[in-house]
Amino acid sequence: MFDLHGYFPMILDGMLLTVEVALLSLLIAVILGLLGALAKLSNSKIARTLATVYTTIIRGIPDLVLMTLVFFGGQILLNNIGDSLGWEYIDISPFIAGTLTIGFIFGAYMTETFRGGILAVSRGEIEAALAFGMSKRKVFIRITLPLMVRHALPGFGNNWMVLAKTTALVSVIGLHDMVYNAGVAGGSTRQPFTFYLVVAMLFLCITGLSDLGLRWANRRYSIGVRKV
Amino acid sequence: MDFEAIIDNLPLYLEGLWVTIQLVVLALVSGFGLAVPLALLAVSKNSFLSFPAKTYIYFFRGTPLLVQMFLLYHGLAQFEAVRESVLWIVFKEAYWCAVTAFALNTAAYTAEILRGAIEQTPFGETEAAQACGMSKFTMYRRIILPGSFRRALPAYGNEVIFMLHGSALAGVITIVDLFGAAKIVNARYFVPFESFITAGFFYLCCTFIIVWFFKWVEKHWYAHLRPRTS
C-alpha cells in the first residue's frame, strides 16, 4: 500500500513549505499577540476597544473565509490603491496571503494567551522593579516579559499546534504545500488515500516533535516552581 | 463596495446557511454520541481498552480536518471494496463525506474534553456513590457523567464554535454551504470582498448566537456556584 511511486520527495518539498508558512506566521502571530495584549491592558480606551474588536471579529469568522478574503479581496484592494498612486500591477502570492492571514488569525488567539500570562505575573515583582526606578518599558522587557513566558507557555503550545494544522488550508488558495502535493500525487497514481495518509502521518510528526519541544520548554521555564 | 449582487443572491446565502447548520448539527450530535463511549474507554484502566481510544483521539487531534476530509472524499474511492459495498451510496456524496469527517473529528476533541472532565471528578463523590451501594454502571450514569458534562461545558462551547468554523471546509469539496455560496457569488460577479465579507458576517452572527446560548446554559447549570445576591 505504501508504494509511493517516487513521489515522496515532492511531498517532503511540500512539508518544507508547510513548516516555512507555519514558522513565519507564528512570528507574525507572536508580534501581533504581544501588541494586542499590551493594547488590551493599556490605559487608553481606544487601544482597548481596537484590540477587543480585533480579537472578537477574528475569532468569530472561520479561518478559511478570512484567508480567501485576504487572497482574493486583498488583491483588488492593493491594485485599487496602486492605481490611484500610479504603481505597477502588484500580485499577491498565495504564500504571502496565506502566511499573513494565518499570522493575523493566531495573533488574536495569542493576544488572549499573552494577556492571561501578563496578568498572572505577580504585582509585587513589578512594584519592586518600579521601586528600583526602572522605566515602564524596562519593566516590561526585563520583568514582565520573561516572567510571563511561564504562564503563557501552555496556551502558546496549544495555539502553535492548531496553527500548524491550519497551514493545511493554504493548499486551498493554491500554494503547493504537502496537502496540495499529495492531491497531485494521489491524482496521478490513483492512490489518493495513500498519499493523504502519508501527509496525515507527517502532520503527526510535526505535532509530536513540537509536543516534545514544548514539554522541554515547559520544564525549563518552571525551574524553581514548587509543585503540589 | 457594491452589495447589489449580494442582495440579489441573498436566497443563495440563506440556503448555504441552512446547509451549514445541518452539517454542524449532524456532526455535533453524532460526534457527541461517539465521544461518550470513547472517553469512557480512554479513562479505562485496562490498556487494551484505553489504547485504541487514545490512539484514535491522538490521530484525529494531531492531523488537520482538511486532510481527514480529503481522506474520505478523495481517498475512499481508491479501494474497490469500498466502491462495491453499500457504503458507497453514502460516501460517493460529498455531503456525507463532510458530515462523517466532521463527526469523527469533533468526536475526538469532545472525547478528550470529557476525559479530562471525568478524571477531575472529586474522589469523594465516587466514594459516596460506592458507599450507597451503586453498581459501576449506576455510578457512571448518576454521578460521574452528569458532573463531567457540567465541568466540560465551557470547553465544549469552544469546540462547538470550532466545528462551526471547520464546517467552512465543506465549501472546498463542492458543497454549497455558506462558504460555498460565497465562492459561487464571487465566481459569478467577481466581488471577492463583498461575497466573503457577507459569509463572514453570517458566521460571526452564528458564533455570537452559540456564545450566547452557552452563556445561558452555564447560567442554568452553574446556578449553585453563583455568588449569592440578596
Please check whether residue A191 lies inside any domain of the structure.
Answer: no
Closest approach of chain A CAs to the CA of B136, in angstroms? 30
Cα A204 from Cα B130, distance rounded (Å): 41
Selected residue of A5, A68, A169, A198 to mutate for chain B interface (largest B Cβ count, 10 A): A68
The residues near A144 (Cβ < 8 Å, ≥ 6 apart) are A118, A121, A126
pLDDT of the residue at A187: 87
Q: Is the pLDDT of residue A167 over 90?
A: yes
Cα A171 from Cα A77, distance rounded (Å): 23
User: Stretch A3-17: mean pLDDT, rounded?
Assistant: 86
Closest approach of chain A CAs to the CA of B122, in angstroms? 17
Q: How confident is the model at residue B80 (pLDDT cuts 50, 70, 90)?
A: confident
Q: How confident is the model at residue B230 (pLDDT cuts 50, 70, 90)?
A: low
Among B178, B99, B26, A189, CA closest to B91:
B99
Q: Is the pLDDT of residue B56 over 70?
A: yes
Q: How confident is the model at residue A228 (pLDDT cuts 50, 70, 90)?
A: low
Please check whether residue A167 lies inside any domain of the structure.
Answer: yes
CATH number at residue A62: 1.10.3720.10
Closest approach of chain A CAs to the CA of B156, in angstroms? 16
Measured between beta carbons, which residues in chain B are less than 8 angstroms from residue A75? 192
Domain count, chain A: 1
User: Stretch A150-179: mean pLDDT, rounded?
Assistant: 90
pTM of the model: 0.89
Q: The C-alpha cell of B229 is what? A: 445576591
Please check whether residue A166 lies inside any domain of the structure.
Answer: yes
pLDDT of the residue at A75: 79
Query: Which of B66, B192, B203 faces A62 most closely, judged by CB atoms?
Result: B203
* Interface predicted TM-score (ipTM): 0.88
- Domain limits for position A94: 18-175
| Size (chain B), residues | 230
Among B212, B165, B199, B173, CA closest to B94:
B173
Cα B95 from Cα A182, distance rounded (Å): 22
Is B221 within 8 Å of B150 (Cβ atoms)?
A: yes
Please check whether residue A80 lies inside any domain of the structure.
Answer: yes
CB of B187 within 8 Å of a chain A CB? The answer is: no
Please check whether residue A105 lies inside any domain of the structure.
Answer: yes
Question: Nearest residue on chain B to A166, judged by CA atoms?
Answer: B64
Q: Is the pLDDT of residue B4 over 90?
A: no
Query: Which of A61, A194, A196 faces B204 most closely, judged by CB atoms?
Result: A61
Question: Nearest residue on chain A to B202, judged by CA atoms?
Answer: A61
User: Stretch B26-31: mean pLDDT, rounded?
Assistant: 96
Closest approach of chain B CAs to the CA of A187, in angstroms? 9
The pLDDT tens digits of the residues spanning A41-95 come to: 988 999 999 999 999 999 899 999 999 888 888 878 887 887 787 777 777 788 8
Is A94 within 8 Å of A174 (Cβ atoms)?
A: yes
Please check whether residue A59 lies inside any domain of the structure.
Answer: yes
Please check whether residue A50 lies inside any domain of the structure.
Answer: yes
Domains, chain B, ordered by start: 4-222 (1.10.3720.10)
Q: What is the DSSP letter of A105?
A: H
Query: Which of A59, A191, A204 faces B78 most closely, judged by CB atoms?
Result: A191
Q: Is the pLDDT of residue A1 over 60?
A: no
CB of B192 within 8 Å of a chain A CB? The answer is: yes
